[in-house]
């Protein structure tokens, strides 16, 4: 009798430990930490980026560039090349973005013109509010 | 305290009577063995899949542009997301193994024979649905592995003349695997198959309880006289009570199942996740060694061997029909497989061939 | 009944016997599909240059290329030499951009078609200036070879290669200056491969590492030891950031293993308890 009681107790202990070991992760799973605060926005003045020029910025640890295209207006693109991750450079005269690693070329919309990159540069959300540009 | 709740229920639903007829009074044969519990472990496995699946559903996004990212999010950012995903992956594969084992043991013990033909057919259909669960779920992470394995498997119906291409197109939702395929596989996996499987499971369990558990033909001989000509529920007056004796056996099997699942999650977490499973799907780049998931390797290998695809797939369909309707084709009264060398030999040969083809298909 | 069984078993054996020519039919039926595994590509350059009628020295080129890092990354003949790889008649046509073998003085620009940053640094370096002005001196092929180009590594700087024009002292100094960063990069690379094997998606970190590696190695081509030393800190810091993230991931992986092991032990324990309990004599 004592033995049965002992094992029953052991079973309840192990069972409840298991149950709690699933409940705790479940609760953490359903309530993830508020890591969304890390997505920051960047505000620039229109005057900082005159027509034809560009400004390099860093958004959420990602190097990016804001270009004021004479024909199509502002655009914010990630500077990380989609080939292997090198940082592209803006060539104002040729109106392209050129990757120094393997000569991947992108146009000012971020689309691939030539070279090994498999897809276009990531476009960042950009809004114009009055005299400011808000990126992100 | 517990007594009070019991009394409250007793007055409303007749708890004591229920407990005595369904639990303590319900008797199982004395020569019942552990293999009789594999079916129950499979049901528990299925419940684990449902629960872990529902939690994954909370974070998964079924769109080709977001699916892969959402799964990576579950694995790396969501707290303990990895736990539920691993449980779902390992649980799924373990479930298929358990269902397969259950099928093999039921066959070898002759428990498909009259009056249990419907139970077998229901079980066979559940096995097929489980495979389709596996197939549809495999695509959802939208990785290279998912995409290309699905492409291979959904192209198998093209072997049929006339209706082959149309069938493949219905599966894929187009000429190639695409977002349309993802949507329909997701609907299958999450909304269409579960109620189907559940109804079959309920039917299956109802039949088992209604007809009565059959005794094993080994050891002490079974007194069931064949053929039966009228309905008679099979009882075992001299047997063990379902609760607590058989219940403990069932629980033991469930613990083995779960321990096995967590053994794999601890020591072999990437056994079902090769590098291609962690690369986003690229319709333009085929990996060098694609193959379907392991439970489809045998039919896949067989198709690769047989020159004429149509004959290959027809043979497989014939085998599936034979397997599904076996109780109707088997007209011998002898239940003990030890006394039926031809059937035993044929079955073991087919099983060995299946295992051999699975390994071969893996290369 | 048993005859029915034997008949069905025979149905299975028959196609296996008939499968004597399965390979050909399989290739025709399956390999022609776009998803059928190996992409059998028709490359006109390679077909001719590896054929028996070709002179040995040209055949050797294909073998050397196959062993190269370019080949592993699917860069082939036409990517450097131009021409059309899909059409044998136009494979060496200037109309399709064929430039043939570059003259020695044009080698840097030949490789610099793609490796822009390196070309820029090289032309500004002592090596580049010497080569361009005298026609003597190291160009890309001197250290990297022309077709058997291996993966970049610190051991390309060695006594054999670097003593052709001057003493090894300068090269040794450079190698020492590069050493710390190169070592760290090597460690990070192998960590990334380990993580990939463990099923973690490390694309972002791979890119960050590659970008840092490429920039550092492009910097080397200035052959300016003081510049390298000056910027070593900056690179070490960048690599340190990547390293920290990876160490976090390793820690997380260890935690996961321990947690699931704990759960496994709980279930095993419960299984044992149930088993023992079931064997206890009834009261």
Report the complex ipTM: 0.87
What span, in angstroms and rounded, lies between the C-alpha atoms of B100 and B213? 20
Write down the pLDDT at residue A19: 94
Write down the pLDDT at residue A131: 85
pLDDT band for position C35 (cuts 50, 70, 90): very low
What span, in angstroms and rounded, lies between the C-alpha atoms of B315 and C14? 11
Q: Pick the residue of A17, A29, A123 with the most B CBs within 10 A to test the interface with B by mutation.
A: A29
pLDDT band for position B91 (cuts 50, 70, 90): very high
* pLDDT exceeds cutoff 70 at A14: yes
pLDDT band for position C1 (cuts 50, 70, 90): low
Residue spans of the domains in chain B: they are 33-215+236-292
What span, in angstroms and rounded, lies between the C-alpha atoms of C268 and B256? 7
The architecture that CATH gives domain B33-215+236-292 is Up-down Bundle (1.20)
The verdict on a CB contact (< 8 Å) between C199 and B273 is yes
For residue C204, give Cα distances in angstroms to A98, C207, C208, C252.
20, 5, 6, 18
Give how far C73 is from chain A: nearest CA, Å: 10
Residue range B144-163, pLDDT digits in tens:
989 998 988 888 787 777 78
Nearest CA in chain B to C8: B319
What share of chain A has pLDDT > 90, as a percent? 33
Cα C187 to chain center, whole Å? 16
What span, in angstroms and rounded, lies between the C-alpha atoms of C152 and A8? 65
* pLDDT exceeds cutoff 80 at B216: no
The verdict on a CB contact (< 8 Å) between B58 and A26 is no
Alpha helices in chain A (DSSP H): 2-30
What's the mean pLDDT in A59-80? 88
Write down the pLDDT at residue C20: 42
What share of chain B has pLDDT > 90, as a percent? 37
β partners of residue A124 = A76
Q: Which of C207, C211, C283 sits opposite A1 (nearest CB)?
A: C283
pLDDT band for position B227 (cuts 50, 70, 90): low
Mean pLDDT of chain C: 83
The verdict on a CB contact (< 8 Å) between C266 and A18 is yes
Write down the pLDDT at residue B226: 57
What share of chain A has pLDDT > 70, as a percent? 95
Write down the pLDDT at residue C38: 42
pLDDT band for position C19 (cuts 50, 70, 90): very low
Residue range C212-256, pLDDT digits in tens:
999 999 888 988 888 888 888 899 999 999 999 999 999 999 999
Give how far C99 is from chain A: nearest CA, Å: 18
Q: Pick the residue of C260, C272, C279 with the most B CBs within 10 A to test the interface with B by mutation.
A: C260
* pLDDT exceeds cutoff 90 at B206: yes
H/E stretch holding B107 reads: helix B81-108
pLDDT band for position C13 (cuts 50, 70, 90): low
Write down the pLDDT at residue B330: 80
pLDDT band for position A21 (cuts 50, 70, 90): very high
Write down the pLDDT at residue C37: 40
Write down the pLDDT at residue C272: 94
Nearest CA in chain B to C15: B306
Write down the pLDDT at residue B257: 95
Write down the pLDDT at residue C39: 45
* A30 touching B (Cβ < 8 Å): yes
Nearest CA in chain B to C4: B329
Long-range contacts of B102-106 (CB under 8 A, 24+ apart): B102/B38, B102/B39, B102/B42, B103/B127, B104/B351, B105/B35, B105/B36, B105/B38, B106/B39
* pLDDT exceeds cutoff 80 at B42: yes
What's the mean pLDDT in B121-128? 94
């Amino acid at each position: 009798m004592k033995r049965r009681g002992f094992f029953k107790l052991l079973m309840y202990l192990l069972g409840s430990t298991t149950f709690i070991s699933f409940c705790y992760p479940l609760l953490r799973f359903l309530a993830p930490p508020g890591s969304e605060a890390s997505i920051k926005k960047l505000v620039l003045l229109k005057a900082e980026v005159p027509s034809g020029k560009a400004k390099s910025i860093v958004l959420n640890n990602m190097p990016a560039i804001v270009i004021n295209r004479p024909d199509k207006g502002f655009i914010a693109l990630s500077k990380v090349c989609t080939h292997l991750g090198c940082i592209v450079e803006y060539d104002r005269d040729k109106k392209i973005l050129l990757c120094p690693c393997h000569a991947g070329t992108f146009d000012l919309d971020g689309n691939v013109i030539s070279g090994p990159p498999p897809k276009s540069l990531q476009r960042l959300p950009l809004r114009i509010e009055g005299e400011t540009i808000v990126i992100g | 305290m517990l007594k009070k709740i019991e009394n409250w229920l007793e007055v409303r639903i007749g708890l004591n009577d229920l407990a005595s007829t369904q639990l303590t009074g319900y008797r199982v044969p004395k020569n019942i063995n552990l293999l009789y519990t594999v079916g129950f472990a499979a049901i528990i496995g299925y419940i684990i899949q449902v629960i872990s699946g529902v939690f994954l559903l909370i974070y998964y996004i079924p769109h080709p542009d977001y699916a892969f990212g959402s799964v990576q999010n579950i694995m790396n950012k969501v707290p303990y997301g990895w736990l539920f995903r691993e449980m779902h992956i390992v649980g799924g594969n373990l479930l298929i193994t358990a269902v397969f084992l259950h099928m093999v043991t039921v066959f070898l013990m002759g428990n498909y024979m009259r009056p249990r033909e419907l139970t077998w057919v229901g079980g066979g259909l559940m096995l097929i649905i489980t495979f389709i669960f596996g197939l549809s779920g495999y695509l959802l992470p939208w990785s290279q592995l998912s995409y290309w394995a699905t492409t291979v498997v959904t192209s198998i119906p093209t072997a049929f003349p006339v209706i082959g291409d149309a069938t493949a197109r219905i599966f894929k939702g187009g000429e190639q695997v695409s977002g349309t395929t993802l949507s329909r596989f997701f609907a299958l996996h999450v909304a269409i198959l579960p109620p189907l499987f559940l109804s079959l499971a309920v039917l299956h369990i109802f039949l088992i309880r209604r007809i009565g558990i059959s005794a094993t033909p080994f050891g002490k001989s079974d007194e069931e006289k064949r053929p039966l000509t009228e309905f008679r529920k099979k009882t075992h007056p001299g047997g063990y009570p379902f609760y607590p004796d058989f219940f403990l056996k069932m629980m033991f099997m469930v613990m083995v199942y779960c321990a096995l699942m967590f053994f794999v999650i601890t020591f072999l977490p990437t056994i079902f996740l090769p590098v291609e499973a962690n690369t986003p799907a690229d319709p333009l780049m085929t990996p060098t060694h694609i193959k379907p998931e392991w439970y489809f390797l045998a039919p896949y290998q067989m198709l690769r061997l047989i020159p004429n695809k149509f004959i290959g797939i027809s043979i497989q369909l014939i085998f599936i029909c034979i397997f599904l309707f076996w109780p109707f084709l088997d007209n011998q009264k002898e239940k003990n497989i030890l006394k039926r060398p031809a059937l035993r030999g044929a079955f073991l040969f087919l099983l060995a061939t299946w295992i051999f083809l699975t390994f071969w298909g893996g290369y | 009944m048993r005859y029915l069984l034997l008949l069905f078993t025979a149905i299975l054996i028959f196609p296996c016997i008939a499968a004597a020519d399965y390979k050909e039919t399989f290739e025709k039926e399956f390999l022609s599909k776009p998803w059928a595994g190996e992409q059998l590509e028709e490359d006109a350059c390679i077909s001719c240059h590896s054929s028996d009628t070709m002179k040995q020295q040209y055949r050797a080129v294909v073998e050397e290329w196959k062993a190269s890092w370019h080949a592993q990354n699917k860069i082939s003949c036409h990517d450097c030499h131009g021409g059309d790889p899909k059409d044998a008649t136009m494979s060496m046509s200037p109309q399709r951009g064929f430039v043939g073998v570059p003259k020695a003085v044009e080698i840097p620009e030949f490789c610099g078609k793609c490796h822009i940053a390196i070309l820029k640094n090289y032309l500004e370096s002592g090596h580049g200036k010497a080569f361009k002005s005298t026609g003597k001196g190291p160009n890309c092929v001197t250290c990297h070879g022309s077709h058997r180009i291996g993966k970049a590594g610190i051991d390309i700087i060695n006594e054999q290669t670097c003593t052709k024009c001057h003493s090894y002292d300068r090269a040794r100094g450079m190698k020492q200056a590069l050493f710390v960063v190169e070592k760290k990069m090597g460690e990070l690379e192998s960590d990334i491969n380990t993580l990939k094997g463990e099923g973690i998606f490390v694309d972002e970190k791979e890119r960050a590492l590659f970008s840092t590696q490429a920039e550092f190695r492009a910097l080397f081509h200035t052959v300016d030891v003081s510049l390298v030393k000056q910027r070593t800190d900056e690179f070490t810091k960048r690599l340190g950031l990547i390293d920290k993230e990876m160490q976090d991931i390793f820690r997380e992986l260890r935690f996961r293993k321990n947690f699931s092991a704990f759960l496994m032990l709980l279930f095993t324990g419960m299984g044992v308890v149930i088993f023992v309990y079931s064997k206890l004599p009834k009261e």
